[in-house]
Structure 1
Amino acid sequence: MCDHGFDPNNDDYDHRAALMIASIKGNADVVKLLLQYNADPNITDMYGSSALLEATKNGHDDIVNLLFEHEASLCMPDRININAADYNKRTASHIAAAEGNVAAIRILAERGADLSAADRWGNTVRDEAARCNSHRLIEFLDGKRELQT
């Protein structure tokens, strides 16, 4: 379609472009192709979501990496407190780690999340990664810790 003039940045009724839909669905081949046709990785839909945010929420690490290579951003307002916690002192990082979501932890870390913060029971992000037995996340966290020291 792009070879015949289709603009990859056209959107639907929710202002979602094809790149965002492919990112939601986890279709890395379509994401690669759309990026080759200069799809804008930073278009947001009517809800303020972006392709990178959707790929992260859905745990599509391969797509997150592709989007990072094309300078994608979350397109979220900077005023959000990345270390905000709930009544149990659990942050977005704790929740992402409990789900074993490496992509989310990577983005949270890059935005300045405190990965050493303890919740009300003393559990850190790494403790959550160990509890859910996410070896990939533990490897990432250990590598991240080495980079910080």
Structure 2
Amino acid sequence: MTEAVYPQCRIVPARFLNPETVEALLSRILEVGGIRKLILNGPRLPTTVPYGPARGLPNPHQMRRVIRAGDQDVELQVQVGTILIELEDRSFIEPIRKACDEVFTNFPYGLSEGKFMKTQATVSDYAKYGPDADEVMLGTTDPKSRKGPLIIQGTK
């Protein structure tokens, strides 16, 4: 039995994205379809100050907002700097590039193909999901998060 290999791509904008830009890009990408996994990477936006003299106090941050992704409201927990996507097949890469061209009109971005996500369980995956974890969940674990990854309906 051969193991399926799914193409992956990475979108790297020239700057961190505002929530409005993330929302516009996600809606365009979700329209394209063919997505197995989509991971938003960037620095965490904690709800409380994690250290220092203000530790434990609310941490108001203008980039932590609720956005619309597909048919679901999602609270951004990171300031998005990189977007990783695993696709069903290569035919979806060009429509994703066109979606990026439509959204990123004021600044450059890079879209590259390669292997950017884990394909085998890591120690963090094993600790969080156990030995029989769903393969779609592999590599999506944030060891600092008490919650699991956010699953957007329609992306699998």
- Scaled by the length of structure 1, the TM-score of the pair is 0.25
* Higher strand content, 1 or 2: 2
Greater RCO structure (CA 8 Å; 6+ sep): 2
Q: Structure 2-normalised TM-score?
A: 0.24
